[in-house]
């Protein structure tokens, strides 16, 4: 089982989420503990090369793998997660 950590930005994103979305993200984190046997995770390109994303509705959880851990970097709505 992989340890899932939150980067400071990911922690701030999580704390700002609506309660319903928080519950969905917690289920995603539970799934990520079984990395790499996680369905739906896609590698990112460009500025986010080396990171993956998994979605829950219109929300995106961006993470990277730093063995033996998995670090959640951002949790944001799809309309702004890839900006800047």
What is the Cα–Cα distance from 2 to 21, expressed in whole angstroms? 23
What is the Cα–Cα distance from 84 to 81, expressed in whole angstroms? 9
The pTM assigned to this predicted structure is 0.94
Mean pLDDT of the chain: 95
Structural domains of the chain sorted by starting position, each given as residue range(s) with its CATH number in brackets = 3-77 (3.30.2310.20)
Peptide bond into 82 cis (omega under 30): no
DSSP 46: G
- Which residues make Cβ contacts (< 8 Å) with residue 82, sequence separation at least 6? 48
pLDDT band per the 50, 70, 90 thresholds, residue 82: confident
Q: Tens of pLDDT along 17-34?
A: 999 999 999 999 999 999
What pLDDT is recorded for position 83?
Answer: 79
What average pLDDT does range 66-75 have in this prediction?
A: 96
């Amino acid at each position: 089982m992989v340890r899932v950590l939150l980067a400071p930005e990911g922690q701030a994103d999580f704390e700002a989420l609506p309660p319903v979305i928080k519950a969905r993200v917690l289920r995603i984190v539970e799934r990520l503990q079984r990395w790499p046997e996680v369905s739906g995770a896609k590698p990112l390109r460009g500025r986010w090369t080396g990171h993956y994303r998994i979605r829950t509705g219109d929300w995106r959880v961006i993470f990277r793998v730093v063995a033996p851990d998995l670090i959640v970097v951002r949790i944001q709505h799809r309309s702004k997660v890839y900006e800047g």
